[in-house]
Amino acid sequence: MKILILGGGVIGVTSAWYLAEAGHEVIVIDRQHGVGLETSYANAGEISPGYASPWAAPGIPLKALKWLFARHAPLIVRPGLDLAMLRWLAALLANCTEARYLVNKARMMRLAEFSQACLAGLRDQLAFDYDGRQLGTLQLFRDQKQLDDAMRDVAALHEAGIPFEILDPRGCVVVEPGLDEAQGTIAGGLYLPRDETGDCFKFTNALADAARARGVRFLTGRSIERLVPAGGVVGRCETDAGPIFADAFVVALGSYSAKMIAPLGMRLPVYPVKGYSMTLPITDAARAPVSTLLDESYKVAITRLGDRIRVGGMAEICGYDLALPQRRRTTLERSVNTLFGGAGDTGRANFWCGLRPMTPDGTPVIGPTGIPNLFLNTGHGTLGWTMACGSGKIIADMMSGRKPQIRADDLALGRYQAG
């Protein structure tokens, strides 16, 4: 089958790899001059099934209200006259019940764990370098209240059989020696030894090279204008350089997926949630993180990527705006400087933002649609890097008429129609 993948982020590229492996003729199209250049470019680098949790959780509406007045708030909402945003926010609030949280979290963990196994398989098979490390993640709490709140997740980890350790401040320093000087400001931590880290952009490019060697064609620098229906299916994809015909189409356009399929009569609840990152060169390796540390106060992740530190996080619900305000950079600097002071040079940091393609229930949308030859692999939100390989494998299995290796019927768009 000839398959056109719309979007060359980490999700489009993993889909391409597994579809090519399944024997299909695959083309990937992206508007950027290469792959992985939008949201997959400089994310926080965590591959973290253990922290796979929806943002929609009990208590979040109240916290969000408090954050409205906080100077370094991790979440900012700038509601406009955007119907899609208001609809999405309402759906997010509806998912903040204990019952919905548990269903959504279990689904996300299932996919994230499967994805980690797929990534390990690719690592063995292709032996490429993406600054990957398998040293766990540490969620760091600066006060007792944060530590107490984390106990709800501990119960879920326990139930899912995910190994974890609750650490006192000294234990945190043992795991992350660079925290030594900050020890007095730490209340404790939650350590997940099985989590991993790595550079999503490097990975996406390395996998694209491997896919190219298998015959996948990458059409970069081409903007997709619309999908054109014909006889009850999608007939072609119109681009700024002419039409492309295929037997089947996969939409992996991240935050731009919903707009692309809306003219086909489909309402996809994927909305952009803006985040920021800063990448700084390491100047003192002994003070730098060895893996990922999640700073619970600022909701920021600090990750070691080779000879660099990536600090990423925060969330703004403000449409498709890509501005880079200085105050957000200051928050990232504050987080890394208070925990790993002197480890890197913030003066030489690269400041970046990206739009997380978020669903209101935290789970991506993977699978068929009401149009027989149109498939979705999008909406990976906060954890697209963590879930990429598994999502690519699942969509390839579905499109090849094979049963996915994990339950996947509840990942498709149909779950919203089912209420």
By CB under 6 A, the count of residues binding ligand FAD is 41
> Minimum CB separation from ligand FAD for residue 184, in Å?
28
Nearest to 133 by CA among 45, 24, 41, 211: 45
> Which window, 91-99, 153-161, 269-277, 278-286, contacts ligand FAD (CB under 6 A)?
269-277
Contacts 24+ apart (CB under 8 A), 265-268: 266/369, 266/370, 266/371, 266/413, 267/416, 268/365, 268/376, 268/378, 268/379, 268/413
> Which window, 36-44, 89-97, 142-150, 262-270, contacts ligand FAD (CB under 6 A)?
36-44
| Under rule CB under 6 A, residue 350 binds ligand FAD | no
User: Closer to ligand FAD at the Cβ: 180 or 280?
Assistant: 280
* Count of C-beta atoms within a 10 Å radius of residue 403: 9
Binding mask 270-299 for ligand FAD (x = CB under 6 A): -----xxx----------------------
* Distance in angstroms (rounded) separating the CA atoms of residues 282 and 304: 9
Computed over its alpha carbons, how large is the radius of gyration of the chain?
21
* Count of C-beta atoms within a 10 Å radius of residue 161: 7
> Minimum CB separation from ligand FAD for residue 357, in Å?
5
25, 32, 102, 415: which one binds ligand FAD (CB under 6 A): 32
43, 139, 335, 373: which one binds ligand FAD (CB under 6 A): 43
User: Closer to ligand FAD at the Cβ: 169 or 319?
Assistant: 319
Longest CA span, the chain: 67
> Which window, 3-11, 178-186, 320-328, 404-412, contacts ligand FAD (CB under 6 A)?
3-11
* Count of C-beta atoms within a 10 Å radius of residue 68: 10
| Under rule CB under 6 A, residue 44 binds ligand FAD | yes
DSSP secondary structure, 275-326, as one string:
EEEEEEEBS-GGGS-SSEEEETTTTEEEEEETTEEEEEEEEEE-TT-----H
* Distance in angstroms (rounded) separating the CA atoms of residues 299 and 97: 21
- Residue 253 CB partners (closer than 8 Å, separation 6+): 6, 7, 224, 260, 378
| Under rule CB under 6 A, residue 115 binds ligand FAD | no
User: Closer to ligand FAD at the Cβ: 167 or 208?
Assistant: 208
12, 49, 132, 269: which one binds ligand FAD (CB under 6 A): 12
User: Closer to ligand FAD at the Cβ: 178 or 379?
Assistant: 379
User: Closer to ligand FAD at the Cβ: 33 or 403?
Assistant: 33
Chain position carrying tokens 């899912």: 160
> Minimum CB separation from ligand FAD for residue 4, in Å?
11
Nearest to 358 by CA among 92, 103, 50: 92
> Minimum CB separation from ligand FAD for residue 415, in Å?
18
* Distance in angstroms (rounded) separating the CA atoms of residues 295 and 142: 8
Binding mask 386-415 for ligand FAD (x = CB under 6 A): x-----------------------------
Judge contact between 316 and 160, C-beta under 8 A: no
| Under rule CB under 6 A, residue 253 binds ligand FAD | yes
| Under rule CB under 6 A, residue 37 binds ligand FAD | yes
Provide the binding-site residues for ligand FAD, judged by CB under 6 A: 7-12, 29-32, 37-40, 43-46, 223-224, 252-254, 256, 275-277, 301, 312-313, 354, 356-357, 378, 380-386
